[in-house]
Amino acid sequence: MKIAVCIKQVVTREWQLRVNDAKNWIRDQDASFELNEPDAYALEEALRLKEKHSGEVVVISAGPARAAQVIREALARGADRAIHIESDALASADACTVAEAIASAIREEKFDLVLTGLQSDDQGFGQVGVILAEKLGMPHATIIMEVQAGDSGLRVKRELEGGWFQWIALPMPALLTIQSGINQLRYATLKGIMAAKKKEIRKVTPSSLGEPTQRILTVQFPTKAKQTQMISGSPAEAARTLVKHLREDARVI
């Protein structure tokens, strides 16, 4: 089974975020970065499928040169080789742009299965996977909690709302977006880290990213200032006003 795993480099959750001078993205020149958590679960699921059914796991990352950090980490965990679609513009690009860049780079590889994390920890739109499936002409399923592969295709468990789950069958090739918590993550061993240095990383430069379908106009942090509002009127009126604010504004009842 030939499996592709799309991974993304994101700013670490512990980093103190700052907005850049243009006010349209975070300042990341001096930030600390890590592997996007949902993508880590997708990689782990791919490695487990490889161990069970044999084959190859290829990681794909679209981003600037610094994304090599998470690519090496994925190779150290057990991926066989990598494709790095290198462009500074992809660091904060919209989902359609990223999906098109990935599709162009991997279309000729003819993967049996493509896995992505459910969403990224920075933008969190959860759209790259489904758009990529459309561009590759693959059936897809989202929010996957379990994967069973067989000769006839895939049987996957999807997480629905309200604690419900859904089992569906898909033919291969297919694309799945993986939910965090689907498995227990492994860590890179010293042997894996040393072996990663010899594994292939094929660099691809996108010819043209085209016009974005959406732009981030401004980024700002939530206001943390406390606000006090005095409620006047009779006890009954004050009680009704208080209940209204608790229900409609604070949303605690």
CATH number at residue 173: 3.40.50.620
pLDDT recorded at residue 93: 87
Residue 236 lies inside a defined structural domain of this protein: no
Residue 212 lies inside a defined structural domain of this protein: no
Residue 156 pLDDT > 90, yes or no?
A: yes
Residue 66 placed within a domain:
yes
Does the residue 48 lie in any domain?
yes
Q: Is residue 211 part of a domain?
A: no
R_g (Cα) of the chain, nearest Å:
22
Query: Does some domain include residue 251?
Result: no
List the strands of the sheet with 81-86, edge to edge: 165-170, 153-159, 140-150, 174-178, 113-117, 2-7, 56-63, 81-86, 201-204
pLDDT band at 185 (very low <50, low <70, confident <90, very high): very high
Task: Please tell me the pTM assigned to this model.
Answer: 0.83
133, part of any domain: yes
pLDDT band at 67 (very low <50, low <70, confident <90, very high): very high
- Tell me how many domains the chain contains: 1
Confidence of residue 184 (pLDDT cuts 50, 70, 90): very high
Q: 35 near 70, Cβ under 8 Å? A: yes
- What range defines the domain where residue 179 resides? 2-204
Looking at the chain, the number of H-run helices and the number of E-run strands are: 6, 11
What are 25-65's pLDDT values in tens digits? 888 777 889 999 999 999 999 999 999 999 999 999 999 99
208 pLDDT more than 80: no
Q: Which residues pair with 148 in a beta bridge?
A: 155
- Both tokens of 204, joined, read 């691809």
Q: What is the mean pLDDT of residues 154-178?
A: 94
Determine, yes or no, domain membership for 241. Answer: no
Residue-wise pLDDT tens digits, 216-233: 888 887 777 777 888 888
Picking from 126, 101, 102, the residue whose alpha carbon sits closest to that of residue 114 is: 102
